[in-house]
Amino acid sequence: MTSTDPDDLAARLTDLGPHLDHPPAVTLVTDVRARLDQAPARRRRWRLLLAAVLAAAAGLAATPPVRSAVASRLGIGAVRIDPVDRLPSTGTTIDPVAPARGAVSFPVRLADPALAGPVRAVATDPAVPGGLVAITYERFTLTEIAASAGQRPVIAKLVGPDTAIEYLTVRGQEAVWLSGAPHAWSYLDPDGNLRTEPFRQAGDVLLWVDGNVTFRIEGLHGPDGRAVALALAESLR
Amino acid sequence: MDDEAELVPRARAGDADAFARLVAGTRDVALRVAYAIAGDDAEDVTQDAFVKAFTRLHQFRDDAAFRPWMLAIVANEARNRRRGTGRRAAVALRAAGQREVPGLHTDPAATAALTDARDRLARAVGALPLRDRQVIALRYFADLSEAETAAALGCAPGTVKSRLHRALARLRAELGEEAEP
């Protein structure tokens, strides 16, 4: 007889929720994303768009003065706008990550753009042996550091009692999620001593190692930060 | 998720990437609800429910909360899956063991006892009828309010109260715990 208080049983059920041993479902969001391209919502959108275009065309055909007014606006200032059925080849697009690829000793990996959105900025730190690249997206920063699990650490994170440490897995590799109160971090010198420069502060962060690279996703806060960080981590390619 | 208000209209307009970001935020809690109702089919159920939700986003009202709406679809999908297989009775539920956290002072015996108690409770919930598991999953495992649970189940808040009352009584009997007189 553990307890007979109904409120206590409710509290025990609430406590049980996060500890239920459900399937890990690591590729769930990526799998769903892949299926959405075949889902009806997108086709419906195109149908609506087609209907709107047809309605507009009917309206234009019925009123010639309007059509000529619109036609004369196909072009603005020094730019002429030519409607065509098929676009010509536009050559290669600029890859913002290209300079960083040459600055580090490992293949730079990117989060799935479907989840992460476009890359906003890329920075490298040549002071780190093997290289460090930080890729900033709209909502978070993905940092990749040349250092495997067995090697000497290059960064120390100082974690106070109000920061929670959770051990998780990313692609079957051990991962750590630091959350709650911000923690402090600094670089370590080759002898393992903390550099004397001021400490930097960091918020919720997911850390994991894959091959010879340590990965860090930072900047996702709030109750869903951990789930979003894990989904992004799984999406790296 | 903070930008839910921004992502919902984009997803509704057919932006699959915005929708993927929305569901990434409800992934864990959706799996939890699906698992409590449909056991080891949880992953398939959740995936199907997310895809269905995308096609039904035009039914989602702007003044509603996304999470209860999404979880209602997950719970329905889980229930239908369970019924469809003709297995309306118990599911084998388990609680995961606590992971060791190096450097933190945890008492291994206390941790093991806590895991055992959770596992015992999980098994007892799994032995309950489908209807009871559904209301317990939404109210306690997903931590929805009584009003949100009612909206997700499509019934009155008073009905949620009485369904929970009966479900907890059966759970107590399953655990061998008697209610106070």
Q: How many CB pairs under 8 A join A and B?
A: 160
Contacts of A29 in chain B (CB under 8 A): 20, 23-24, 27
Q: Which of A32-36, A87-91, A92-96, A99-103 has the lowest mean pLDDT?
A: A87-91
A137-146 confidence digits (pLDDT tens)? 888 899 998 8
Task: Give A55's pLDDT tier (boundaries 50, 70, 90).
Answer: very low
Domain stop point among A39, A65, A91: A91
A209 in Cβ contact with A199 (< 8 Å): no
Put simply, the answer to whether A3 touches B177 (Cβ < 8 Å) is yes
**Is position A16 within any domain?**
no
Residues in chain B with CB shorter than 8 Å from the CB of A23 are 31, 35, 40, 42-43
Tell whether B98 is covered by a domain: no
Same domain flag for A39 and A151? no
A77 and A141, same domain (yes or no): no
Classify residue A15: in a domain, yes or no. no
CATH number for the domain that contains residue B133:
1.10.1740.10
* pLDDT score recorded for residue A63: 42
- Is the Cβ pair A115, B24 closer than 8 Å? yes
Asked if residue A224 belongs to a domain, the reply is: yes
In a domain, B97, yes or no: no
Same domain? For A47 and A105 the reply is no
Query: Quick one: closest CA in B to A30, which residue?
Result: B20
User: Tell me: the pLDDT tens digits for A105-164?
Assistant: 889 999 988 888 888 888 887 777 778 888 988 888 999 988 754 566 666 666 767 777
Range A36-46 average pLDDT:
53
Same domain, residue pair A109 and A66: no
Same domain, A142 and A229: yes
Q: Does the complex come out with an ipTM higher than 0.85?
A: yes
Query: Do A126 and A199 share a domain, yes or no?
Result: yes
> Do the domain assignments include residue B101?
no
Output the six-digit token pair for B35.
Answer: 């698992």
pLDDT tens-digit readout, B115-157: 889 999 999 999 999 999 999 999 999 999 999 999 888 889 9
Q: Do B177 and A40 touch (CB under 8 A)?
A: no
Does A103 share its domain with A123? yes
Residue A113 in domain: yes
Query: CB-based contact (8 Å) between A37 and chain B?
Result: yes
Question: Which of chain B's residues have a Cβ under 8 Å away from the Cβ of A42?
Answer: 14, 16
Tell me what pLDDT residue A115 has: 83
Residue spans of alpha helices (H) in chain A:
6-16, 28-36, 40-62, 64-71, 98-101, 113-116, 225-234
Residue B104 to residues B100, B107, B112: CA-CA distances in angstroms?
8, 10, 16
State the average pLDDT for chain A: 72
CA dihedral A174, A192, A136, A180 (to 10 degrees): 60
State how far residue B54 is from chain A, nearest Cα, in angstroms.
7
A13 in reach of chain B (CB within 8 A):
yes
Answer yes or no: do B43 and A113 touch at CB < 8 A.
no
Highest-confidence segment of A120-129, B86-95, B158-167 = B158-167
Q: Is A20 helix (H, G, I), strand (E, B) or coil?
A: strand
Question: Would you say residue B80 lies in a domain?
Answer: yes
- If one compares A142 and A59, the residue with the highest pLDDT of the two is A142
CB A53 within 8 A of CB B48: no
Lowest mean pLDDT of A40-54, A77-91, A186-200, B143-157, name the range. Answer: A40-54
A140 φ, ψ to 5°? Answer: -160, 170
Query: Has residue A5 been placed in a domain?
Result: no
Average pLDDT, chain B: 86
CB contact under 8 A, B24 and A16: no
Q: DSSP per residue over B25-57, as a string?
A: TTHHHHHHHHHHHHGGGHHHHHHHHHHHHHHTG
Say yes or no: A35 and A63 in one domain.
yes
| Residue A148: domain span | 98-234
| Judgement on whether residues A86 and A128 belong to the same structural domain of the protein | no
Question: pLDDT-based confidence at B73, cuts 50/70/90?
Answer: very high
Q: What's the pLDDT score for residue A12? A: 94
Chain A residue nearest residue B105, CA to CA: A161
**Residues of A in Cβ contact (< 8 Å) with B28:** 18, 227
Looking at per-residue pLDDT, the higher value among A237 and A79 belongs to A237
A118 with A200, same domain?
Answer: yes
Say if residue A2's pLDDT is above 60.
no
Chain A residue numbers with beta carbons less than 8 Å from the beta carbon of B136 are: 13
Q: Are residues A147 and A41 in the same domain?
A: no
Percent of chain B with pLDDT over 70: 87
In terms of C-beta density within 10 A (0-12 exposed, 13-18 middle, 19 or more buried), how is residue B169 classed? middle
* The total number of structural domains that make up chain A: 2
Q: Is A152 on the interface with B (CB under 8 A)?
A: no
pLDDT: which is higher, B149 or A50: B149
Domain's final residue, options A49, A68, A91? A91
Specify the pLDDT at position B123.
Answer: 95
Q: What digits encode the pLDDT tens for the residues A204-229?
A: 889 888 878 889 998 887 778 888 89
Is the model more confident about A153 or about A64? A153
Find the domain containing B64 and state its range.
Answer: 4-87+108-175
pLDDT of residue A150: 56
User: B58 or B53, which is more confident?
Assistant: B53
- Number of independent structural domains in chain B: 1
Domain end position, chosen among A58, A91, A124: A91
Residues A191-206 have a mean pLDDT of 69
Confidence of residue A167 (pLDDT cuts 50, 70, 90): confident
Q: Per the CB < 8 Å rule, is B95 touching A19?
A: yes
Residues A136 and A31 in one domain: no
Q: Which residues does B75 contact at the CB level (< 8 Å), separation at least 6?
A: B33, B34, B37, B134, B137, B138, B152, B153
Q: Which of A5, A27, A36, A176 to mutate to test the interface with B (most CBs of B within 10 A)?
A: A36
pLDDT of residue A176: 83
